[in-house]
Structure 1
Amino acid sequence: MIELMPPTALARTFAAAGSVAVLTGVLAVSALHVLPPTASISPVRRTISEYAYSETGWVFNLGVLVLAAGSLAVCVALAYAKLIRPASVASLGLLLWSAGLAAVVYFPKHDWSVGPSTHGTIHRMASLVAFLSLPLGALLVTVMWRRERRWRGSVWLTAIPALAALAFFSVIIGAYLLTPYTGRPWWDVIPLGFVERGMATFEVLTMLALGRWAWRASSTPRR
């Protein structure tokens, strides 16, 4: 039974299962970019969440939920590998990423053919929390282990995509702050779909780097 497994075996199990789930969820959502009927949606101007209103919206919802579950498994693996404490700001950031993804599915974005909605507002806030909490949580993990020589490679593999995700996020913040000067809605000032997809890509790479780190930590003799 799983409760009889040693912590190192549990860490490897959760790290492997979580990483596979993350990749599976990403592949499911990525397929919507090239398969009809969603292939016609502009990846440059339209957000990823717009796929939820298509005939294959269930693929988007399932893919995001699988991504959330895989990310949660990686977080558990990090805890079993003793890279993070369960009750820490770093683990909170990683957990908020998974919770935010689940909320994005439960509360769909605004259906602009109908108009603004409460669930659309919640969706936007959940997206904000998810996209911001993961890179910040991951960077906190790297800060904790930056002086450990054996984890130097893992630190950089995690920090670089996390910083890149925050760089994409800053483009959205900049567009929002410039609204009074541009006189246009912030989402029309930038190629929002491209920026969001770039941010999502680096968020996923950050999670995969954390999964790899948890696997390595569980396979390395403790000092």
Structure 2
Amino acid sequence: MSPASLARPLAVLGLGAALIGSLAVGVLHLLPPTADLSPIRRTISEYAFYDTGWIFNYGVLALAAGSLAVLLALAGAGLVRPTSAGAVGVLVWCLGLAAVVYFPKHNWAVGPSPSGTIHRAASLLAFVALPLAAILIARAWRGDERWRRSALWTIALAVGALAWFGVILGAVLLEPFTGVSWWRAIPLGAVERALALAEVSVVLALGWWALTAARPIRT
């Protein structure tokens, strides 16, 4: 089968996996014992520490796999070149999510650790790489009448994700002036969850765009 013929099933697979993975992590907000964690202050990655942590891990990996399927669908539909910066950015997002699972969150109160450092770096890299990649992909199609709306929606969602990341970055940059630890200066859990939802929305926008582009032409 040609890449073009695989674009539609890959888009469907990617959208389904991304939705299932996101819902799996969302369910942890309702299931004990993670339901007792504050969604305002505690980060999502802390769910991995509990007996239901396997749900978190599989949910994140499902999102990573779905994102990779979406990337392949975009390439098959002719919306992105596999060697372009946009494609590389989406791949970095996928690898970053996998690294978040393989290198779990660390309790920084007991001091730094290689695993915790990699986890934090992978998270930051993934959260930045996806929206930037989406903007690069969409910019190339803003002038195309067929895909102008899809491109503008994708750019808007990606900018929203970067804005939420900017809240975290701002807290880090202001720490030397305020004297307040950056993770205490903002409701980190709430901001991280808003950022995660924004990132997932970018994946879904790209997946829907690929699905639309791969739709058979009616004669």
Normalised to the residue count of structure 1, the TM-score between the two structures is 0.94
Match of residue 132, structure 2, among 131, 136, 144? 136
Counterpart of 2:56 in structure 1 is 60
Number of residue-to-residue matches in the alignment: 217
Secondary structure class of the residue paired with 2:147: helix
Match of residue 21, structure 2, among 21, 25, 50? 25
Correspondences of 1:15-164 after superposition (within 5 Å): 15-112=11-108, 114-164=110-160
- RMSD, aligned α-carbons: 1.1
Query: How far, CA to CA, are the matches of 2:175 and 2:194 in structure 1?
Result: 22
The structural deviation recorded for 1:113 is 6.3
The structural deviation recorded for 1:153 is 1.5
Whether 1:8 and 2:9 are equivalent positions in the alignment is: no
Counterpart of 1:210 in structure 2 is 206
Question: Retained in 2: the 8 A contact 1:8–1:219?
Answer: no
Query: How far, CA to CA, are the matches of 1:114 and 1:179 in structure 2?
Result: 21
Give 4+ residue runs of structure 1 displaced > 3 Å after superposition: 112-115
Query: How far, CA to CA, are the matches of 1:93 and 1:124 in structure 2?
Result: 18
After superposition, give the CA deviation of every residue in 1:36-93 in whole Å (9 maximum; x if it has no partner): 1100111110110000001111110010001100100000000111100000100010
Percent of aligned pairs with the same amino acid:
59
Structure 1: runs of 5 or more not aligned: none
Structure 2: runs of 5 or more not aligned: none
Query: How far, CA to CA, are the matches of 1:37 and 1:112 in structure 2?
Result: 22
Query: How far, CA to CA, are the matches of 2:195 and 2:156 in structure 1?
Result: 13
Query: How far, CA to CA, are the matches of 2:122 and 2:76 in structure 1?
Result: 27
Normalised to the residue count of structure 2, the TM-score between the two structures is 0.96
